[in-house]
Amino acid sequence: MICGKTYQPDEVTYVCPDHGHEGILDVVYDYEVIARRIRPESLTENQDPTIWRYKPLLPVEPDAPVPPLTVGGTPLYDAPRLAAGLGLKHVWVKDDGRQPTASFKDRASAIAIVKAQEAGAEIITTASTGNAAAALAGLAASIDQPNVIFVPASAPQAKIAQLLTFGSTVMLVDGTYDDAFDLCLEAADAFGWYNRNTGYNPYMSEGKKTVSYEMCEQLGWDAPDVIFVSVGDGCIIGGVYKGLYDLLQLGWIDHMPRIIGVQAEGSNYMAEAWEKGEDVLTKPPIEAHTVADSISAGLPRDRLKAMRAVRESQGAFITVSDEEILTAIPELAQKTGVFAEPAGAAAYAGLRKAAATGLVSPENRIVVINTGSGLKDVASAMKAATMTGAEPYRIRPALEAVRRALGD
């Protein structure tokens, strides 16, 4: 992504040799060959709802064995009440809280598993704020693949519980996600482990791009006008763009949607770089603090692909406060039935802000991606519910008590 040099898949493992850790690679496809292997019509007949229905568009061999968990095929819900509340007409919620380990990260980890097996890896490793780890842990468990996970000790309990339950070797790092990331890279080098890290392993955005295939297919190949997605490392937004780019090259969609990257005010590296026109290769890390742990990243590891996504799609980066993120959780839940973790709700908080500032117009067809289930972070959900004034009635087990509670 820095120098534009191209390599054959067997020439390099992760990054551009000339550019070291920063040298994230982008997978390049031969769309003419792909067009002969897969068409929208052939997909209509394909009963497989998972990401593997798009196998000819993925960087895996046609006969590569894939993990058994059902990754992808998440619902795209029409959300008329949510739309109406914002003065909009067409809003859909793509609910990736419905993935097997309850976050979007399963899309990437599924690819990591296949690539690691292809490489004959004995151990896979990743650093993560929590969800990428849980995704790798679950998918690895599904094929009995040993793995070592690095997460900040401050990760939400539910995510750590998933790791331990799936039987991963868990390193709780006394430090930030950025510390865990650097340590994981060092350990992978030292011990020869297969490295799934975001913004390092070029195949992760290839898994994540499947969300764009799905939403466009679910909309009858009539691409939306605007997509809202939250941004931490920037791998998801880069993947969203890549998927749309592929579809445009194949001629399956006729326009590139605007992609809006939503960041937390306290973790606004990309938004700041975007506003000020800064070079993300030289911009120093920031101190990241936000309730949305999954998008807390001082140095977004996939910042080149994230910036490309917004620039090439004529999109934007915007920020929302922690309070706006928390308020968005019950609002999204009550208007759609989708329960999101803070980083997932952040995308909706971004749409709410964009509707208020005129960044989107009433006629726009808009997709909001929920990237993670609310069950991932119950403490934040309780806090958000409390902020709305919602409170349970504490009662004796008697009908009389129910009557009194209801004010009869």
Ligand X SMILES: *Cc1c(COP(=O)(O)O)cnc(C)c1O
Encoded tokens for 115: 């690539």
Which x/- pattern, by CB under 6 A, does the window 71-110 give for ligand X?
A: --------------------------------xxx-----
- What distance in Å separates the CA atoms of residue 198 and residue 127, rounded to the nearest whole number? 8
**Other Cβ atoms closer than 10 A to 349:** 30
Contact status: 30 vs Zn ion (CB under 5 A): no
Quote the least distance from Cβ 129 to ligand X, whole Å: 7
With CB under 6 A as the contact rule, which of the stretches 62-70, 144-152, 224-232, 350-358 interacts with ligand X?
224-232
Contact status: 24 vs Zn ion (CB under 5 A): no
Residue 10 in 3-state DSSP?
Answer: coil
Site for ligand X (CB under 6 A): which residue of 162, 195, 371, 380? 371
Alpha carbons within 13 A on the beta-carbon side of 341: 28
Footprint (CB under 6 A) of ligand X, residues 323-342: 341
- What distance in Å separates the CA atoms of residue 405 and residue 29, rounded to the nearest whole number? 63
Quote the least distance from Cβ 108 to ligand X, whole Å: 8
**Which helix (H) or strand (E) segment is 245 a member of?**
helix 235-250
Contact of 135 with 108, CB cutoff 8 Å: yes
Site for Zn ion (CB under 5 A): which residue of 8, 10, 11, 18? 18
Residue 330 in 3-state DSSP?
Answer: helix
Site for ligand X (CB under 6 A): which residue of 131, 313, 319, 336? 131
Site for Zn ion (CB under 5 A): which residue of 15, 23, 136, 253? 23
Nearer to Zn ion, 281 or 379 (CB): 281
DSSP states along 99-132: STTSBTTHHHHHHHHHHHHHTT-S-EEEE-SSHH
The residues of the shown chain that bind ligand X, judged by CB under 6 A, are 103-105, 131, 198, 230-237, 294-295, 341, 343-344, 371-372
Q: Where along the sequence are the contacts to Zn ion (CB under 5 A)?
A: 2-3, 16, 18-19, 23
